[in-house]
Amino acid sequence: MSIDEIYDKQAQAYEDMVSRQPDLSELIRRVRPYEGLDVLDLGAGSGRLSMLLAADAGSLICTDISQPMLDILDDKCSEAIDSRNWTTMVADHRNLPVASSSVDLIVSGWSISYLANSSHEEWRENLELVMTELHRVLRPGGTILILETMGTGTETPNPPEFLTGYYAQLEHQYGFSHQWIRTDYVFDTVEEALLHTGFFFGEELTDKIIANQWSTVPECAGVWWKHV
């Protein structure tokens, strides 16, 4: 099953997996305190970052290519937050239905990489289009914060080779600062870890989980940020 099919047909399974990752609100605040700001969550998925932002942001726009993922996000926010300050919209990162100079902070978690990995012959052009859109919708003085994988099933950064060109472009062409963090998946048992990760990551990870008897599956993530 392709990633697109997983996002459309197994959105809840994806949510059950990523909900086991740590709360990243303090990381975001260290880069840019977001209370009262107009925020765009690009590639919001099932809301792993939106849920952290919605309660305190002035407004929140959540875009994703998958409507089923956004439906989960909407349900989660509706249950947890009294005042509705978020909107959801299906959108391609390269052509956002968002007004120019309308947001103060853009966050994007594990999303731009689907357009900017080297399996796409036009990945550099895709990345340039995405960056052009992000700078268009951002107000002067705004901030862009991007999170991407640096390896699942590894305790230190080991990014997939098909993403290293994209990561180098973020730093060297687009001027982002960079650090890495751990974003481990915490389960109660090894069996839960297998159940909730295998459908997405496949046998390479499940073999590691069995061999190491992991109930906590290690993962590294890269953090890139830029103040415009």
- Domain segments of the chain: what residues? 3-227
Query: Is the four-CA dihedral 143, 51, 156, 112 of positive or negative sign?
Result: negative
Amino acid 123: pLDDT: 98
> Confidence class of residue 171 from pLDDT cuts 50, 70 and 90?
very high
Mean pLDDT, rounded, of the chain? 97
DSSP 97: -
Residue 1 pLDDT greater than 80, yes or no: no
Closest CA to 23 of 132, 135, 186: 186
What's the pTM value of the predicted model, to 2 decimals?
0.97
> Confidence class of residue 82 from pLDDT cuts 50, 70 and 90?
confident
* High-pLDDT (> 90) share of the chain, %: 94
Amino acid 83: pLDDT: 80
Amino acid 207: pLDDT: 98
Query: Is the four-CA dihedral 160, 165, 168, 174 of positive or negative sign?
Result: negative
Q: CB count, 10 Å around CB of 221?
A: 24
> Confidence class of residue 13 from pLDDT cuts 50, 70 and 90?
very high
Using DSSP's 3-state secondary structure scheme, residue 84 falls into coil
> Confidence class of residue 154 from pLDDT cuts 50, 70 and 90?
very high
Correct CATH for 3-227 of 3.90.1150.10, 3.40.50.80, 3.40.50.150, 2.20.25.90 = 3.40.50.150
DSSP 70: H
CB 38 within 8 A of CB 102: yes
Tell me what the mean pLDDT of segment 3-21 comes to: 92
Amino acid 35: pLDDT: 97
